[in-house]
Structure 1
Amino acid sequence: MTSVVQAPAGTFIGRRHGPVRRFLGIPYAEPPTGVRRFALPAPRARFPQPFDASRPGATAQRVPLSAVTTVPEPSVPGEDILNLGIDAPAADDARTPFPVLVWIHGGGFLAGSPASPWYDGRSFVRDGIVRVTVGYRLGVDGFAPLDGVPANLGLRDVLLALDWVRENIAAFGGDPERVTLAGQSAGGAAVLALLSSPTGRGRFRRAVCLSGGFFEAKPGDGFLERLGKRLGVPPTHAGFAARTPEQLQRAVLDVRGDDALVLGPVIGDDVLPVPVATGLAGYGHDVPLLLGATRDEFDTPADPDGRAAGSRVTDTLFRSACSRAAAARRGAPAGTWLYSFAWPSPVYGGSAHCTDLPFFFDLLDAPGVPEALGPRPPAGLAARMHADLAGFVHGRTPAWGRAAGRPGDPAREYGRPGTPHVTDTTGAFDPVVPVPDTEAGAGAC
């Protein structure tokens, strides 16, 4: 059954699936091709004719990170990659607009797909939430620090998508004044970056970071030079523009080796004038933040490289970021809350990176879940985790205590063996050394 919405951006024809109205592939910006490829995103002109929003939009990912990924991440061909998807309740008699969850996918800023079935919004719709997924530029096109090119184009894409949501989401039943920005892995890092940015102010009211971190790029490390040599072009705007996004993505995967984070947010422009940890001390203090990590991330027995490196990647990249963010926001009136996901997947032998997603989205029946979680993941745990996330999006205060980046911080722990599905505890992040008091911010800008 079709579903038609008339919005300021145009008329959109989606599909109705029971209680869910689904609109896919809606462009929020002009295609980043030709002269627009390495330029600021340009708002999409209003569609003069009805737009068919029944199929997934093109994805920036041309090449997945690997042949098999934990999260199913389909690549969709096409140039109109700056698009978004909306799952909205079909309740025609709703008296008040629904809160909105805007989701940023992960993938190391190199890959990932907003069309993943793991990001299906039907469980959020069931709980009275409009879910929006955002496509943004990846890899060199989105995050390479090139002379003469605006930095952080991928983040600027998300900012423009948030503007589109503010202007149009009411037509889909959403409340533009109750937008939560959320993401996982690189998407979670993007949330922290925009929370720390002066340009993010006022564009979202709540923030959720799942297994994110302070993944700033490190200009000057020689990576772009090695990439240019691999491609046979100078490491410049003109050089990389002579290669297609697919050629660039394949070359990045070849050159990066074991370094998963070769590109990311760049410090020093108007979007990120200071490092993310510093920015969190000055901006976003009026935005409640829920953040956490899985207990093992990349340190499970099925992925031994992290342990062999001599220090846990989990603590170095992920859990430490949670404590540092809480410390930077110490005293923020909006509050910071920590969670730790500890349910061990029988497939990985631990609580691996991404395995919390089907629980938070309450999608244990999604494609690819048995391959990642085994045949019988606990439905009760998914119900509790999803309820906590949905409650946060609805504006409810989490039931456990606020964090301040100190030893003994309160946290909600999910799925630790031998305990109930949910345990409110303290000190779950104590193995990570928190930021000293002198590095924690005290005021908002």
Structure 2
Amino acid sequence: MTAAPPPISAAGSPANRTAPLAGTAHGTVRGSHEQGVAVFRGIPYAAAPVGARRFRAPEPPEPWAGVREAVAYGPTAPKRPYAPPLDRLLPDPDVPGENCLNLNVWTPSPARTGLPVLVWIHGGSLLHGSSAVPLYDGTAFARDRVVLVSVNYRLGIEGFGVFPDAPANRGLLDQLAALGWVRDNIAAFGGDPDRVTVCGESAGAISIGALLAAPRARGLFRRAVLQSGVPAALSVAAGRRTTELIAKRLGVAATARALAAVDPAALLTAQSEVTAGGSPLTGGNSFQIVVDGDLLPRDPAEALLAGAAAGVDLLVGSNTEEYRLWFVPSGLTERLSRTKLRLALLKFKVPRATARTYRANRPGATPGELLGALATDLLLRVPLNRLADARAGAAGSTHFYEFGWQSPVLRLGACHGLEIGFVFDNLDRPDAVALAGEAAPQELADAMHAAWVRFAGTGDPGWPAWDESRPVMRFGPGAPATVRAPRDDELRGWAPYREHR
């Protein structure tokens, strides 16, 4: 059954006549006043991707007459919850309905003009997540005079399945359409379209890495923040494998036309079964951005190392113990034997000297903890350092951070995703408490949130830009502090640096 669209009215009750109004290119929206800021939720930036539009590139929404109520989160993209045990740590709201291509805006009240804009692209392995996650509430940014926009985009096979009869990277095209909406409409919400920063974590950061390399995205944002994600993409052939496995499980051809005829619930079930058991660190079947020769003419990592997006200011970084989100709840830190560690080191082609350095720096670490530290750096810290090195001295600054505060919850430590509650200054939210506990340091959130606010406004988060001394702002443990070339002995052990440093 198709969900009813949000109510649209030409007038309204005396109570809602005082609510904030904003005119967009497609019609007027009415939001609400909350905690001293104006909030607009569920604004469509593209037409509902259903029927003939299901596997197409996004198309503009239909204009509406009167005033559209924008007080509730819009529908989320089709998805399933995280599998146990991550479902207890990562709440993933599901809002029913078809028009999942929507966004939310938080802006100061009373209204201002010419404010910097931060566009948030959520993570979730391109399978999970939405802008309705409570942790992503943008009130603190609006309080500090930054317009916060959070975006939904298509996920899983509908957003990133690779077909011979449909455009690739549809979820990325959705993000591009949302940024186009921001360019054309954000002034009505007090934002400056020439001061847009795009910000994302995990798969959101990977998406931004692709947008930085996409010619069509040029001019849509001035700055970018990559939290715990690096520019990466697969070939079309490699990216098609997960699509083919899902189609095989369903007994249909691996085409958009064939899968469009499959019951959506059955498609989600097959998708969950095919992608079960993997993680960003351990691998497995997954959805990835692909080099399609259209939106992405070349691999994003190669493009950025060669100077693409040279004029865009970057803020990049990761968490010290990213791996603990996947290894600790699953028990892998304790289960992994020394024999399996040796096999993993061979698989990842980790030099023996590098492994010895990591082991010497972590006396008493289990084999699982050693593998996690190596995998975290191989997949995140090493490529981010390489990107920063390539941009040193070029147009557009690069600033580097590391989040190191350790959560006491389930021994998660400085795990993947933990920094988000600090960035948004939302430590009191239930999903922040689930990861960080009830006694997370507010002063660290104050410092980290303020750095993101400064970066969105000026491009300078408050510490030196990247140069040959390799300055990194370390947010915990302890007070934030700039350190130079942290753990450089470990970094020098990896192939991109051994010959040059």
Could you tell me whether the CA contact under 8 Å between 2:35 and 2:139 is conserved in 1? Answer: no
Quote how far apart the aligned CAs of 1:399 are. Answer: 2.9
Cα gap change, 1:197/1:399 in structure 2, threshold over 3 Å: closer, same or farther?
same
Match of 1:326 among 379, 388, 395: 388
Match of 2:175 in 1: 158
Letter in 1 for 2:470: D
Q: Which amino acid aligns with 1:110?
A: L
| Displacement over 6 Å in runs of 4+ | none
Query: Higher helix fraction: Structure 1 or Structure 2?
Result: 2
CA distance in 2: counterparts of 1:276 and 1:42, whole angstroms: 25
5+ residue gaps, structure 2: 1-15, 281-285, 345-370
The question of whether the paired residues in 2 share the 8 Å contact of 1:144 and 1:263 is answered with yes
Partners of 2:165 and 2:487 lie apart in 1 by: 42
The 1:243–1:237 alpha-carbon spacing in structure 2 relative to 1, beyond 3 Å, is same
Separation in 1 of the partners of 2:173 and 2:485? 36
Whether 1:298 aligns to 2:318 is: no
Structure with higher Rg: it is: 2
Give the corresponding residue for 2:480: 422
2:143 equivalent to 1:126: yes
Q: Which residue is 1:46 aligned to?
A: 63
Q: How does 1:183-222 map to 2 (within 5 A)?
A: 183-217=200-234, 219-221=236-238, 222=241
- Aligned-partner SS, 2:119: strand
How much does 1:214 deviate?
3.4
Q: CA, structure 1 residues 245+107, in 2 after alignment: closer, same or farther (shift >3 Å)?
A: farther
In structure 1, give the amino acid aligned to 2:267: L
239-248 or 180-189: which moved more? 239-248
Amino acid at match of 1:284: A
- In structure 2, how many angstroms separate the alpha carbons of the residues matched to 1:73 and 1:132? 19
Q: Secondary structure at the match of 2:124?
A: coil
1-side partners of 2:62 and 2:70: how far apart?
Answer: 16
Distance 1:156 1:138, change over 3 A: same
Q: Is the 8 A contact 2:399 2:465 kept in 1?
A: yes
Q: Which one of the candidate residues 89, 101, 106 is aligned to 1:70? A: 89
Contact 2:233–2:289 under 8 Å retained in 1: yes
Report the Cα offset of residue 244 of structure 1: 4.2
How far the C-alpha of 1:9 sits from its partner, in A, is: 2.5
> Does the aligned pair in 1 maintain the 2:454–2:462 contact within 8 Å?
no
Q: Report the CA distance between 1:215 and its aligned residue.
A: 4.0
Deviation at 1:46, TM superposition (A): 2.5
1:269 paired residue among 293, 307, 329: 293
CA offsets per residue over residues 249-270 of structure 1, 9 Å max, x none? Answer: 3322211243335111111322
Offset, 1:355:
0.8
Give 1:242's aligned residue.
Answer: 261
Q: Distance in 1 between matches of 2:479 and 2:235?
A: 40
What residue number does 1:175 align with? 192
Matches of 1:197 and 1:429 in 2, distance apart? 33
**Is 2:82–2:90's contact at 8 Å kept on the other side of the alignment?**
no
Q: Deviations over 1:287-319 (max 9, x none)?
A: 100011111112364455379464333123222
- Determine the C-alpha separation between the residues in 1 that align with 2:162 and 2:298: 15
Aligned length: 432
Picking from 333, 336, 345, the partner of 2:398 is 336
Local SS of the residue matching 1:125: helix
Preserved contact between residue 324 and residue 434 of structure 1 (Cα < 8 Å): no
With over 3 angstroms needed to count, the CA separation of the structure-2 counterparts of 1:127 and 1:276, relative to structure 1, is same
Contact 1:62 1:77 in 2 (8 A): no
State the partner residue of 1:255: 274
Q: Secondary structure at the match of 1:368?
A: helix
For residue 334 of structure 1, report the CA deviation from its aligned partner. 0.7
Gaps of 5+ in 1: 440-445
In 2, Cα distance between the equivalents of 1:233 and 1:390? Answer: 49
Larger CA deviation: 43-52 vs 22-31: 43-52
Q: Match of 2:458, SS?
A: coil
Moved more, 257-266 or 198-207: 257-266
In structure 1, what residue type is equivalent to 2:384? Answer: C
The equivalent position to 1:351 in structure 2, one of 397, 414, 420, is: 414
CA shift digits 1:330-370 (9 cap, x unpaired): 33211111111111110142111111110011111112222
**What is the one-letter code of the residue matched to 1:260?**
S
Q: Secondary structure at the match of 1:428?
A: coil
Output the CA distance in 2 between the equivalents of 1:291 and 1:189.
Answer: 11
Would the alpha carbon gap of residues 319 and 436 (structure 1) be closer, same or farther in structure 2, given more than 3 Å must change? closer
Distance 1:70 1:329, change over 3 A: farther
Shift of 1:237: 1.7
Q: Cα gap change, 1:6/1:340 in structure 2, threshold over 3 Å: closer, same or farther?
A: same
Give secondary structure in 2 for the equivalent of 1:208: strand
Provide the residue aligned with 2:5 in structure 1.
Answer: none
SS at match of 1:394: helix
Instruction: Decide whether aligned partners of structure 1 residues 53 and 239 sit closer, same or farther in structure 2, where only a CA change above 3 A counts.
Output: same
Shift of 1:247: 3.0
TM-score of the aligned structures, taking structure 1 as reference length? 0.91
* Counterparts in 2 of 1:306 and 1:152: CA distance versus 1, 3 Å: farther
The answer to whether the 8 A contact 1:293-1:340 is kept is yes
Distance in 2 (alpha carbons) for counterparts of 1:305 and 1:234:
37
Q: Distance in 2 between matches of 1:41 and 1:301?
A: 39
Relative distance call for 1:180 and 1:219 in structure 2 (3 A) is: same
Shift of 1:403: 2.7
8 A Cα contact 1:323 1:429, kept in partner: no
Secondary structure of 1:41's counterpart equals: coil
TM-score (normalised: structure 2): 0.81
Distance 2:382 2:277 in 1: 21
Q: Is 1:32 the counterpart of 2:49 in the alignment?
A: yes
Take 1:117 and 1:438, find their aligned partners in 2: how far apart are those partners? 46
